[in-house]
Chain A
Amino acid sequence: MNATASLQTVLEAGQPVAEHRPWPRVIVTPELWTTLSEGLARGSWTLLGLWGESGTVHLAVYEAPGEFGIASLPCPDGRFPSVGRLHPPAQRLERTIADLVGLQPVDAPDSRPWLDHDRWPVRHPLGSATPPSQTLPPYRFLPVIGESLHQIPVGPVHAGIIEPGHFRFTANGEAVVRLEERLGYVHKGIESLLQGASLEKAARLVGRVSGDSTVAYALAFARAVEAATETEIPVRAHGLRALMAELERLANHFGDIGAICNDAAFALMLAHCAVLREQVLRASMACFGHRLLMDRIVPGGVATDLPVDGIAILREFIAGCRRQFPPLVELYDNTASLQQRTVDTGFVKPALIQQFGCGGPIGRAGGRTFDARCQPGYPPYDELEFTIPRRTDSDVNSRIWLRIGEVEQSLALIEQILERLPSGPVHGALNMPGRMGEGVALVEGFRGDILVWLRLNADSTVARCHPRDPSWFQWPVLEAAIENNIVADFPLCNKSFNGSYSGHDL
């Protein structure tokens, strides 16, 4: 295979799977798998996901500007050629596959477990699911060699009420020499629960993978189901889904902007942003009957239609935001003591952002342009006008500005959606073809692109479903962001990333 072949050419060499939609999924040989790994390492393509099921590993790849594909490698002997060996972003995903399914990456540079902390009643819950016969060796953190270095273990239980994660700092005085993360403390076994679940139950489960992105997850799951069953949903449902997605983005971005500033002890910003966030939640409650919009998006459409006064409520809310938000932006811009903390802090090289394919504000603050609303794109965004903010300075400050830019875009998007919201039904029946179907969807949540891949049984229960959180490609980059910073600036860097523990630990 030519080293510079396009993704399409490479995938054409494999054996396509007919029932997979909308992107091609092909069964590949180990040679083709290695070609794909090399392409990823070369930077021709971006890794979108890597997951396993009994006897097979799947690799989702994106080629700019708009080519997507999934390669599946059968591994009858329980081993597959490591992608992480050539392309580091795949390493934690491979360790997860080894933990959950029991398929071993050959020649993987890091063979330590990742999600399995040796506390589960079974080994390989998605594979053999046998009770553990022996305990795992103690987890070794990477060694650090040098004089006058000391370690600072932080977490998994923190002084504040936040999600659990362990951060092992090696520092020389205040300067961070290395940060190593350990995650997996909130593993809930969602993928196991999804196996055999009815569509209704599965939609609720996927909507709870990461509570702050419940709309985006539910949307991704619904779109994957609709792709697998070849269902067209009513146009009004598309509009309402986008409304909810933008409301969720607004709520989270308001929360993040305030929280980042609060970590620099500037509580004023948090107080005002919290008011704005609360307004989003109240508008959501009034319009859709749930503050966080949980379970409002279901396969086939949406669960609740906008009430009669819904459009007026949302218009009033937008007007309020447009009144209250610009003074806050000005406050941020004019507070020198705050800028002093954020500018140049937590810089990540754009090349690293590109390599890891970081999505969302972190990726777009570091030079990437990728936004799932445009690429692969889904209705109704193809008919709406919006620009995707992009910066290249890649520090905490730029991540705040990017969120500010996205807030403005989301406000404009909601206005456009309201203007052209068609009337009609909001829910349609799914095509139940009575045969197996596979679907995949990529949806832009507030953190970045969420991938949901699933296979439905003939009785339309879920055979296998894999939701991939954007944090998978953001957590590793955080380790690089803290380099050359001081220990005391870590909370600021971390909050500017705001990775999901729950979505990552699954």
Chain B
Amino acid sequence: MALIMDYLVQGGQMLLMLLLAPLLTGWVRVLKAQLLRRRGPSLLQPYRDLLKLLRKEVVLADSASWLFRVAPYIIFAAIWVAASLIPTFAGGLLFNWTADLIAIVALLGAARFFLALAGLDVGTSFGGIGSSREMMIASLAEPAMLMVVFTLSLLAGSTGLTTVAHFMQVADVGLRVSLALALLALLMVAIAENARIPVDNPATHLELTMVHEAMVLEYSGRHLALIELAASLKLLLYISLISCIFAPWGMASVGEEGMVYLVGIAAYIGKLAVGGFLLALFETSIAKMRVFRVDQFLGAALMLGLLGALLLFVSRSL
């Protein structure tokens, strides 16, 4: 019985992530439009866009190989699995015990690898530019992310997210310099990973400035729908990750009953709304940085993560 419940909760979590992801994207878009004093599209517009794309036929470039066709499914699957590993409204989900933060980083890395390959595979110059820029960003964002993971695991004694969240929730953590540094680093990585301003502009039509959009420029139909959905899921994943680690309040624990889960879901949606609002506010207040400045931005994230881990290590062992 308990196992069935575990499956139900885990399944519910996966479904919830999938359903909420476009809503979060729509929410950020609406907020950004309102901040610019525009009315903005409906909250449900991303769902309509996905439906529209699913109904459209796929146009493939002559130069595209099987890799280009397969990549969207791999990318979507990897990111969906990664998202399902994050404790959102409840900790201690079935999958939480099978994979930790490092597995999440690896899954995201795999998705990115295939996206970059697909960008190169199609053979257009924009795909190549996008892939090369994406790899430049990744080469700094991934180590920075790992540094954050190390900081957290040093502190909580585990790389498992449920343990980390539980530790932050229950233990008397207090204010710690390492945690602040890790939060800052994680925020910077999240912005870069999700192709948001100032690293990339998700709304641009200027081919020459694109990073993420340049790689997916040749996709259409259901392939594009999967990629868009994966991008929305990734944004949801990062906001969930940040709120699970740094604001785990209201999260239900495993084995609890109905109402607690409902409270957990409400708290989770509240956190997403706040996260989306902060993202929209930040994006509106800043211009995109020069492509060659991105390495400095992410280099700073890497250093912050490293500093956090080092501080903790030094204060522990000496």
Contacts and interface: CB of A to CB of B under 8 A. Distances in A.
Contact of A268 (B36, B208, B293): B36
Contact of B290 (A160, A266, A489): A489
Nearest to B207: A159
Interface string A149-177: 01111100011110000000000011000
Interface in A413-443: none
B290 A341 contact: yes
A271 interface: yes
Nearest to A339: B287
A263 B205 CA distance: 9
Contact of A265 (B201, B207, B208): B201
Contact of A151 (B38, B125, B289): B125
B206 A341 contact: no
Given A159-B205, A265-B197, A488-B209, A338 B292 contact: no
A266 B128 CA distance: 26
B60 interface: no
Contact of B206 (A159, A161, A173, A337): A159
A256 to B, nearest CB: 16
Interface string B203-221: 1111111000000010000
A263 to B, nearest CB: 6
A458 interface: no
Given A151-B125, A153-B125, A265-B198, A160 B205 contact: yes
Interface in B118-138: 125-126, 128-129, 132
Interface in A118-161: 150-154, 158-161
Contacts of B290: 340-341, 486, 488-489
A160 B287 CA distance: 20
Nearest to A485: B290
Interface string B260-295: 000000000000000000000000111111111100
B291 A265 contact: no
A267 interface: yes
Given A174-B292, A341-B287, A341-B290, A152 B129 contact: yes
A486 B292 contact: yes
Contact of A340 (B38, B197, B285, B289): B289
A97 interface: no
Contacts of B204: 265
A264 interface: yes
A261 B209 contact: no
B198 A154 contact: no
A490 interface: yes
B151 to A, nearest CB: 28
A267 B36 contact: yes
A275 interface: yes
Contacts of B176: none
B316 interface: no
Contacts of A150: 125, 128
Nearest to B284: A268
A264 B204 CA distance: 10
Nearest to B209: A488
A264 B205 contact: no
A265 B287 contact: yes
Interface in B5-53: 32, 35-38
Nearest to A342: B287
Contact of A158 (B207, B284, B291, B292): B207
Contacts of A338: 287
B198 A337 contact: yes
A489 B291 CA distance: 9
A153 B129 CA distance: 12
A270 B304 CA distance: 34
Given A337-B289, A489-B290, A267 B208 contact: no
Contacts of B129: 152, 487
The residue among B37, B208, B285 with the most chain A CB atoms within 10 A of its own CB is B208
A8 B38 CA distance: 57
Contacts of B198: 265, 337
Given A160-B205, A267-B284, A337-B198, A152 B291 contact: no
Interface in A238-284: 261, 263-268, 270-272, 275
Interface in B182-212: 197-198, 201, 203-209
Contacts of B292: 174, 486
Interface string A19-33: 000000000000000
B206 A174 contact: no
Contacts of A489: 290
B298 to A, nearest CB: 16
B182 to A, nearest CB: 24
Contacts of B207: 154, 158-159
Nearest to B200: A265
A307 interface: no
Given A150-B125, A153-B125, A268-B36, A490 B287 contact: no
Contacts of A263: 206, 209
A271 B38 contact: yes
Given A151-B125, A486-B292, A261 B208 contact: no
A159 B205 CA distance: 5
A342 to B, nearest CB: 9
A312 B135 CA distance: 58
Contacts of B35: 268
B208 A491 contact: yes
Contacts of A491: 206, 208-209
Given A150-B125, A153-B125, A487 B208 contact: yes
Given A340-B289, A341-B287, A341-B289, A271 B36 contact: yes
Contacts of B287: 261, 264-266, 335, 337-338, 340-341
Interface of A: 150-154, 158-161, 173-174, 261, 263-268, 270-272, 275, 335, 337-338, 340-341, 486-491
Given A161-B205, A338-B287, A489-B290, 16 more contacts: A150-B125, A152-B125, A153-B125, A160-B205, A160-B206, A173-B132, A265-B288, A275-B37, A337-B286, A340-B289, A341-B289, A486-B290, A486-B291, A486-B292, A488-B209, A490-B208
17 contacts: A152-B208, A159-B217, A160-B205, A160-B206, A173-B132, A174-B292, A265-B204, A265-B288, A266-B286, A267-B36, A268-B35, A335-B286, A335-B287, A337-B286, A486-B291, A486-B292, A491-B208
Q: Which 5 A-B pairs rank lowest in CB-CB distance, beginning with the nearest?
A: A160-B205, A265-B288, A271-B36, A266-B287, A338-B287
